Chains A and B, each alone.
Chain A
Amino acid sequence: MSSQDILPEGKQEFTITVYTENQIGLLNRIAIIFTRRKINIDSLNTSPSEIDSIHRFTIVINETEDVVRKLARQIEKQVEVLKVYFHTNTDIIWQEMALYKVPADMIAEKAPVERLLRENGARAVVIRKDYIVFETTGHREETENLIKVLQPYGLIEFVRSARIAIIKDSEGFNAKLREFEQREPGEEVSENEYLNQRDKVFTM
Chain B
Amino acid sequence: MEATQQEVLTAPEEQQAIELSGSAALLEALIIEGVSTIFGYPGGAIMPIYDALYDYKEKLNHILVRHEQGGIHAGQGYARSSGKVGVVFATSGPGATNLVTGLADAQIDSTPLVCITGQVFAHLLGTDAFQETDVINITTPVTKWNYQITDATEIPEVIAKAFYIARSGRPGPVLIDITKNAQIQKFAFKGYTPCHHIRSYRPKPIIRPKFIEQAAQVINEAKKPFILWGQGVILGKAEKEFTAFLKKSGIPAAWTIMGVGAIPTDHPQNVGMLGMHGNYGPNVLTNECDVLIAIGMRFDDRVTGRLDKYAKQAKVIHLDIDPAEIDKNVQTHVAVWGDCKETLPLLTQLIEEKQHTEWLEKFNDYARQENEALIDAELHPQTGEMTMGEVIDQLNQLTDGDAIVVTDVGQHQMVGCRYAKFNHTRSNITSGGLGTMGFALPAAIGAKFGAQQRTVVAVIGDGGFQMTIQELGTIMQSGVDVKILILNNRFLGMVRQWQELFNERRYSFVDIQSPDFVQVAKGYGIAGKTVTEREDLQSSLKEMLSNPGSFLLEVMVTKENNVFPMVPQGCSVSEIRLK
Contact = CB atoms under 8 A, between A and B. Distances in A.
A192 B122 contact: yes
Contact of A194 (B122, B144, B199): B122
Interface stretch (A70-78, A87-95, A98-106, A126-134): A70-78
Interface string A167-204: 00000000000001001101000101111011111111
B324 A21 contact: no
B141 A36 contact: yes
Contacts of B322: 77
B140 A202 contact: no
Q: In terms of DSSP, what is the predominant structure of the interface of chain B?
A: mixed
B121 A202 contact: yes
Contacts of A184: 1, 199
B300 interface: no
Interface string A60-81: 0000000001100110110111
Contact of B121 (A32, A69, A70, A203): A203
B198 interface: yes
Interface string A1-30: 000000000000000000011001100110
A70 B327 contact: yes
Interface in B176-194: 179-181, 184
Nearest to A54: B200
B323 interface: yes
A44 interface: no
Interface string A101-117: 00000000000000000
Contacts, number: 82
A194 B140 contact: no
A28 B200 CA distance: 17
Given A73-B324, A77-B324, A193 B151 contact: yes
B144 A204 contact: no
Interface string B135-174: 0110011001111101100100000000001000000000
A169 to B, nearest CB: 21
A74 B150 contact: no
Contacts of A82: 199-200
B267 interface: no
Contact of B154 (A73, A183, A190): A190
A36 B201 CA distance: 23
Contact of B150 (A69, A70, A192, A199): A192
B123 interface: yes
Nearest to B129: A204
A180 B144 CA distance: 23
Q: Which of A32, A77, A80, A200 has the most CB of B within 10 A?
A: A77
A192 B121 CA distance: 12
B372 to A, nearest CB: 43
Contacts of B198: 79
B328 interface: yes
Contact of A28 (B125, B140, B184, B199): B140
Contact of B144 (A36, A69, A79, A202): A79
A81 B324 contact: no
Given A70-B328, A77-B324, A79-B201, A25 B123 contact: no
B501 to A, nearest CB: 31
Given A194-B150, A197-B123, A70 B324 contact: yes
A25 B136 contact: yes
A32 B141 contact: yes
A25 B136 CA distance: 8
Contact of A201 (B123, B136, B165): B123
B200 A80 contact: yes
A6 B145 CA distance: 36
A180 B199 contact: yes
A69 to B, nearest CB: 8
Given A36-B141, A194-B151, A202 B184 contact: yes
A176 to B, nearest CB: 11
Contacts of A73: 323-324, 326, 328
A203 B125 CA distance: 12
A70 B199 CA distance: 23
A202 B180 contact: yes
Contacts of A190: 151, 154
28 contacts: A20-B200, A25-B140, A25-B148, A28-B137, A29-B140, A36-B141, A73-B323, A73-B328, A74-B324, A76-B323, A77-B322, A77-B324, A79-B201, A82-B200, A184-B1, A184-B199, A190-B154, A193-B150, A194-B179, A195-B125, A195-B150, A200-B123, A201-B121, A201-B122, A201-B123, A202-B123, A202-B184, A203-B123
Interface of A: 20-21, 24-25, 28-29, 32, 36, 69-70, 73-74, 76-77, 79-82, 180, 183-184, 186, 190, 192-195, 197-204
Closest A-B pairs by Cβ, 5 of them: A194-B122, A73-B324, A82-B200, A198-B123, A79-B145
